Structure 1
Amino acid sequence: MESVSQTLPLLRELAQGIAAQFGERCEVVVHDWSQPYESTIVHIEHGHVTGRKVGDPGTNLGLEVMRGTSEGGHRQNYVTRTKDGRLLRSTSIYLKNDAGTAIGALCINFDISELLAAEKALQGLVGMQELPPVQESFVSNVGDLLDSLIQEAEDAVGRPPALMSREERIRFIALLDRKGAFLIKKAGEKVCAYLGISKYTLYSDLEEAKGTDAEGEQS
């Protein structure tokens, strides 16, 4: 496979077949990472599950794979939560070209909320207690995804921008970088405005941040 667009007709048929098999609670999404990240969704079945449509962005997990801070291996049978609190059982299959580079993804998100509210026998079928939680942001606007990553980084640092020391600010930027935030178009401008710093300061801090780990220690 050289590109997602080249294989899109087959991927569409796969998505349609999976969605038909598991019904309206099963969303199936095809992402093409050659597109700007604010519009990576090129096909979707049952988009009402996460409220997304063709032309909407990917999630934070895709950004991490593209950034190289998350292994490109498939993620299977993990649990995520939508903005309105519904629980999804998800699988992300990363599509790679002949060189082994991830170029897109086929993702399945099955809404298990009603199953979890059913009888105990169904809970055994779902197997929720055995599944580790995964933080994944389903958004219809890439700006919302960036806002989510910024809030996550601020929560990790534990201080609002006005109270951050320089070291804490660099850790904040390092966290955003590791999550792939700066792959989003115009992310730098938004982060500068949020932190109240210039682009020069951001680029300087970003260079220093690349030499630190998520805890702010030199690597």
Structure 2
Amino acid sequence: MYFTKKHGKEGRSIESGKLELLKQVAAGIAAQFGSSCEVVVHDLSRHADHTIVAIENGHVTGRKVGDGASYVVIEQLATNDPQPRDHLCYLTKTPDGKILKSSTIYIRNSKGKVSGILAINYDISRLLMVDDALHDLVSTGDQPQPEPERIVNVNDLLEELIQQSVSLVGKPAALMNKEDKVKAIRFLNENGAFLITKSGDKIAKYFGISKYTLYSYIDTKQQEGK
């Protein structure tokens, strides 16, 4: 993993007392808002494949304790941003088409390090159906709505990042030259793809190169940065 040295997890763990408090808060929020409200606690000291340490109403996204990170968690693990801003009241979308109203709250430990994430995902799909029915009666003009972000599991996230890298280059992998592949792989590295278990094998196979070549492209970028 090429993020180990650059984005070490020392000092990131959630203290046990705070973790128990977060679990209690998660259960309280879920009970208050009902079965459509999923509340997730991510521990950033864990591997990206297993960051979920508590979840209420996991049926909303089909996740459970021990499952891996969503994109927002991967992003924090990759950048190790010391002062991330909470992302509140934005839309997300599950693979089966549910629209969720989501909030992401960053949790810091006693050392001030971002050690966890409390995520709230409220399924508003049925409410949107009511809203659509009333829209023609109350609307005075159409306003563009933002495209919901997708909530995906780790394996689907890697596939999505690979497709984004291909779109960035603008040609399929089979037609890419060395420069194209370097560009695509650097995009994947900068967006946390190599935090995912066995991602190197899958990415190398996808672009038709060896793992040695794959990591040499990353090393070249790191040397240029120095």
Report the TM-score range of the alignment, normalised by the length of the smaller protein: 0.7 to 0.9
Distance in 1 between residues matched to 2:131 and 2:38, nearest whole Å: 24
Match of 1:65 in 2: 76
Give secondary structure in 2 for the equivalent of 1:34.
Answer: coil
Instruction: Describe the superposition over 1:118-170 as per-residue Cα deviations: whole angstroms up to 9, x where unpaired.
Output: 0469779xxxx68644534322xx32321222122223322221111222211
Q: Normalising by the residue count of structure 2, what TM-score does the alignment of the two structures yield?
A: 0.81
Give the residue type in structure 2 aligned to 1:138: V
Q: So what's the TM-score if we normalise by structure 1?
A: 0.84
* Counterparts of residues 188-199 of structure 1 (less than 5 Å): 188-199=200-211
Distance 1:48 1:120 in 2: 25
Equivalent in 59, 71, 94 of residue 82 of structure 1: 94
AA in 2 matched with 1:155: S
Is residue 21 of structure 2 the alignment partner of residue 14 of structure 1?
A: no
Contact map agreement 1:82 1:137 (CA 8 A) in 2? yes
User: How much has 1:40 moved relative to structure 2?
Assistant: 0.8
> Match for 2:149: what amino acid?
Q
Answer yes or no: is 1:31 the counterpart of 2:25.
Answer: no
In structure 1, list runs of 5 or more residues that go unmatched.
213-217
Runs of 4+ in 1 over 6 A off after TM superposition: 121-124
- The residue matched to 1:78 in structure 2 has which SS? strand
Aligned-pair identity in percent equals 45
After superposition, the Cα gap between the structure-2 partners of 1:100 and 1:121, relative to the gap in structure 1 and judged at 3 Å, is farther
SS of corresponding position for 1:4? coil
Matched residue pairs, number? 208
Match of 1:135 in 2: 149
Encode CA deviations 1:28-57: one digit per residue, 9 max, x unaligned.
Answer: 000112121111111100001101011100
Deviations 1:46-79 (A, max 9, x none): 0011010111001111111111176622111111
Question: What is the alpha-carbon root mean square deviation over aligned residues?
Answer: 2.7
Q: Which runs of 5+ in 2 are unaligned?
A: 1-10
CA positional deviation for 1:174? 1.7
